[in-house]
Structure 1
Amino acid sequence: MKQLFTLIFTLAILSLNLVSCVTLPSPPLPAPYAFAGVFDYSPLTSKGVFVTESNSVSFDYETIGSLYAISDGGWINKTYVEPSLDALYNEVLKQLAAYNANGIVNLKINVSGRIADRTKRYSLEGMAIRKTDAGKINAQVSTARRIIGKIDGISLQILEAYSNGTRVLTSQKLNVSQLRQAWKKYFYNQSQIQFYTEKGLADKVAYASFIDRQIVNYETNEFIPLE
């Protein structure tokens, strides 16, 4: 019995030694990485806002105050919605209009956090000014076309952006699920959005819209909740 116990104890010690000698694989080292991007200021400049990253300009202006804006991600019905530059710019335009400002100097935009950790944030800061040789910013409409992204491979392009709504051109019709995705990702804080295809735009007929947190399907006359 004593010999059996000694044998078992010896085997256990040998097993521990073998385990301790096993070298676990190291996690892969990160590969070289490079990235370049451009922050598009056209959503501001197309509304008549003067923008510069410099802290000095060659014209007279009235100082309004320090400007700061952020866009954080958040959850809507258990779905994470990423922060966006469009949401950031919308808040900036509201503040500029409220103070009758029409320019930003010493503008800086920063990106922090990571989408994977749900911590990504866009932040903007600068000094709001009022150019003495210019009028109010155009808060009514922007006719600068720009592609804002894609939903399931279908591109979305801003046609006109009004203070109370936006006209959007899509490369093909979005279905209900895709419209909900577009609302959560790009238009959550906007009151009214109209969607067109190229043919519908030529005929001046939208195929769908967002009104009062509902999808309006103009082809079937249906009202479908967005949430």
Structure 2
Amino acid sequence: MKIKLHILAMIVVAFLFASCSQKILYTESVGFVDYSTYLNEGIFLTESNSVNFEYDAIGSVSAVVYSGDAVVSQSEQVDKNEIYGERTKVKNKVGWKAASPDDALNAAVAQVRKQGGNGLINIKITPTTEIDNAKRVRTGFLITGMAIKRK
């Protein structure tokens, strides 16, 4: 009888330890960055390092975005006071914003436009991570390419 209790206890302990293991679940992820929006605005984008038209090279562009807290909405409140008059108070609602390749591309294209360009070639989109001072891991995206001016 004692042997049966020991065997039963060992089975229970083995079952408890086996059920505590973490499972790694299968996942799929598909990404798509739409360049057509920029084409409609006159900005040429390609991942190729060669194109079939003449251009002037303006410079290298890189843009990186990381997930984190950001202003997700704003509201204004008008405060009327006899002494100070009318004042507008702005309240910002802060929430988590996940970085995306589109965010990085928007930043890169803004820089291209600022430099007088109308294209970005040899685009590379790279997922990246950063560990901040509090040892938290943040994910993001890095985009690099060459700003050009089509002739």
Q: TM-score band, normalised by the shorter chain?
A: 0.5 to 0.7
The CA deviation string for residues 166-199 of structure 1, in whole angstroms up to 9 with x for no partner, is xxxxxxxxxxxxxxxxxxxxxxxxxxxxxxxxxx
Residue 88 of structure 1 corresponds to: 104
Q: 2:38 aligns with which of 37, 44, 61?
A: 44
Bigger proportion of residues as strand:
2
- Structure 1 segments of 4 or more deviating over 4 A? none
CA root-mean-square deviation: 2.9
Q: 2:121 aligns with which of 105, 108, 116?
A: 105
User: How far apart in 1 are the matches of 2:54 and 2:107?
Assistant: 26
Give the TM-score normalised by the residue count of structure 1.
Answer: 0.42
Q: Is there any run of 5+ residues in structure 2 with no aligned partner, and where?
A: 1-8, 71-92, 131-135
The AA in structure 2 aligned to 1:131 is R
Identity of aligned residues (%): 29
Asked which structure has the greater RCO (Cα within 8 Å, sep 6+), the reply is: 2
- Work out the CA distance in 2 between the residues paired with 1:83 and 1:111: 10
Partner of 1:70: 64
2:149 corresponds in structure 1 to 130
Residue by residue, what CA displacement relative to the aligned partner does 1:69-119 show, whole Å, maximum 9, x if unpaired? 1121222466322224453233223211221111111112122349xx761
Tell me by how many angstroms 1:62 deviates.
0.9
Query: Counterpart of 2:139 in structure 1: which amino acid?
Result: K
SS of the residue corresponding to residue 97 of structure 1 reads helix
| Structure 1 unaligned blocks of 5 or more | 1-17, 133-227
Paired residue secondary structure (2:138): coil
Q: TM-score with structure 2 length normalisation?
A: 0.60
Tell me the distance in 2 between the aligned counterparts of 1:84 and 1:108: 14
